[in-house]
Amino acid sequence: MGENAVESRWFPSHRGRPDAGVQLFCLPAAGMGASAYREWQAALGPGVEVIAVQLPGRESRFGEQPLSTVDLIVERLTGPLLERADRPFALFGHSMGALLSFEIAHEAVRRGRPPVRLIVSGLEAAHDRTQVRGTAHELSESELLEYVLKLGGIPPEGHEYPELVSLFLPTLRADLAVGETYRYRARPPLPVPITALAGRDDPMVDHRRFAAWSQLTRTGARTHLLPGEHFYLDAERQAVLDIIRSALR
């Protein structure tokens, strides 16, 4: 498979902002795809090129086997991402995507290509997570559906379309395994500033451990708590994008 074909799999959006000063690679939460960020480009303006990452097993890559460990995703994604990064770049991720962004930042630093900023959302500090649960990815199909409905990851009417929802559960199960099997490896703090965001009422985030993101960088961290629970990004989109725009300025 040619280089362009590989790139188009991971980054389905067109190269729409060749003059933007910074590229923002956006990684999705568990079970979600690149379309979660489809409205961000227009909202962030011409100074930022938004590049949404499409992981295997969803949307345009629905027929591919989803990857179920952080290490495997980082191994396969970092090379194409650094190829696509042709100017200063930043990383954004929500929940599982935040964990992946953190590890990709470390790998990019190791390869001599550090991002200009790491922006994480909906996740406790990677080294101090209280809820590395380790069991949700092993739930039965019906239990997994209930679990995701409770978190608000899919609409309540998901109960009405069990056959449709069941098509997405293998990818969701693999994504949950990504977070639940992750084990932090001690390394020097990143030479990259961190911006961290979370919902004030997020049951997945202990705010004391959320603040510990500052321990994982030697160039400063800022934390922001916004109204909402785990999936606060849509309701608070304008506030989130204002914070991101300011962080990348």
Quote the pTM value. 0.89
Distance between CA atoms of residues 70 and 61, nearest Å? 18
pLDDT score, position 138: 67
Residue ranges, the chain, pLDDT below 70: 1-7, 130-134, 138, 151-165
Q: Which residues are catalytic?
A: 95
> Residue 181 and residue 137: Cα distance in Å, rounded?
10
| H-state helical runs in 152-233 | 162-180, 207-210
The dihedral through the CA atoms of 137, 154, 128, 71 has a sign that is: positive
pLDDT digits (tens, 9 = 90+) for 72-119: 999 999 999 999 999 999 999 999 999 999 999 999 999 999 999 999
Q: What pLDDT score was predicted for residue 198? A: 96
Which residue, 20, 216, 4, is CA-closest to 123? 216
Q: Homologous superfamily of 3-130+184-248 in CATH? A: Alpha/Beta hydrolase fold, catalytic domain (3.40.50.1820)
Walk across the sheet containing 48-52 and list its strands.
48-52, 22-27, 89-94, 117-121, 194-199, 221-226
CA 142 – CA 225 distance, rounded (Å): 33
CA atoms within 13 A on the CB side of 168: 15
The residue extents of the domains of the chain are 3-130+184-248
pLDDT at residue 1 in the model: 47
The pLDDT assigned to 159 comes to 58
